[in-house]
Amino acid sequence: MGTLKLIDNFQMYNLNKAEKATLAQTYKALVEEGTTSSTPDQPSVQSGEEGYQKLNIPEELWNRFCTAEEYMSDMTMQSTASEETPEMQAIAAKREKLVQVCVRRVLESEDMPIEDEQEAAKKLKIVVSPYKGIYKKTVKEKISIVNGFLKDIKKEEYAEYVTTLKLDGYIAEIEQLHNQYCTLKKQRSSRQAEKPDDMTVEAQSKILQDALDDMNAYANATSLLEPSEETTKFILEVRNLFDETRAARNMRDSKRDDDETDEGEGDEPTEETPGEPTEETPGGDDDRPVVQ
């Protein structure tokens, strides 16, 4: 008879935020794999039970873990991403490109041989010139800039010149994209405002750790009292997950220690002679910061 293997305790406290999120996501996937069972005739069929039920994990515990896992993943994405989602970034890029197209169209039309276009360009030049550097601005600044651009370029006194330079379609597209962007930004802000008070890495880490310990205990008990191939497979995969996570963490810590050692090696510090008082520095050496 082979040796019965169980899941050992695993501490998440010395993992960084991304590592905790990855561990929780993978563990969740391993539990959910228990939802299906395989047979020779039917390689993958629904078993009628959720994976956590097969491991006798209470539904409340499973839901608590899944919620914390989602929060941790969300916080990890927020800390590594910009203020915009990928969809918002794509919309903003197209919007800003169209603004630049309008600006270039106006500035280049000053040299056109057609008198009407020259006149329209002269009238609109003062309107569009302030918006040439939109790419260099921050996300928040760009919103105000596009608002200002649309407000200025759509003024009634410029309508004739806008039409002359065939900018109506561009402006309509910019306005549509800008409205879409602002809607997405508002929705994102609302979702972030709805987060619970315990939406911190520390709080969610503790929830994940406690839930992980409890679920491991249920899985171990199930393996002892109701042994099955599925439970044994789950335990082996979780043990492998923990081993791989430990190895990756140890490698990261080892590399960090090596880097710190390299930084600490070098020439021995030399002893400096305190500066003598002078007319410029009557008190001798002054370690106060110099404002430049």
Q: Please measure the distance between the N-terminal and C-terminal CA atoms of the chain and give it in whole angstroms.
A: 77
- Side-chain half-sphere of 180: how many Cα atoms within 13 Å? 16
Question: Does 218 have pLDDT greater than 60?
Answer: yes
pLDDT band at 186 (very low <50, low <70, confident <90, very high): confident
Higher pLDDT, 276 or 160: 160
How far apart CA 222 and CA 239 sit, in angstroms, is 16
Q: Domain ranges in the chain?
A: 89-193
Average pLDDT over residues 237-254: 90
Using a pLDDT cut of 70, give the percent of the chain over it.
76
Centroid of chain to Cα 169: 34
Question: Does 42 have pLDDT greater than 50?
Answer: no
pLDDT at position 257 is: 62
- DSSP 8-state class, residue 154: T
Task: Provide the mean pLDDT of the chain.
Answer: 81
Long-range (24+ apart) CB contacts under 8 A made by 161-165 are 161/119, 161/120, 161/121, 161/123, 161/124, 162/120, 162/124, 164/116, 164/117, 164/119, 164/120, 165/105, 165/106, 165/109, 165/117, 165/120, 165/121, 165/124
Range name among 67-71, 106-110, 192-196, 268-272 with the lowest pLDDT average: 268-272
What are the tens digits of pLDDT across the range 61-96?
A: 999 999 999 888 887 776 544 456 788 889 999 999
For residue 41, give the H/E element and its range. none
pLDDT band at 183 (very low <50, low <70, confident <90, very high): very high
What Rg do the C-alpha atoms of the chain give, in angstroms?
31
Nearest to 230 by CA among 62, 61, 69, 53: 53
Average pLDDT over residues 255-280: 51
pLDDT at position 287 is: 43
pLDDT band at 281 (very low <50, low <70, confident <90, very high): very low
Residue 37 forms beta bridges with which residues? 45
Average pLDDT over residues 144-172: 95
Question: Does 197 have pLDDT greater than 90?
Answer: no
User: What is this structure's pTM?
Assistant: 0.49
Nearest to 171 by CA among 117, 88, 99, 110: 99
How far apart CA 210 and CA 206 sit, in angstroms, is 6
Average pLDDT over residues 136-159: 92
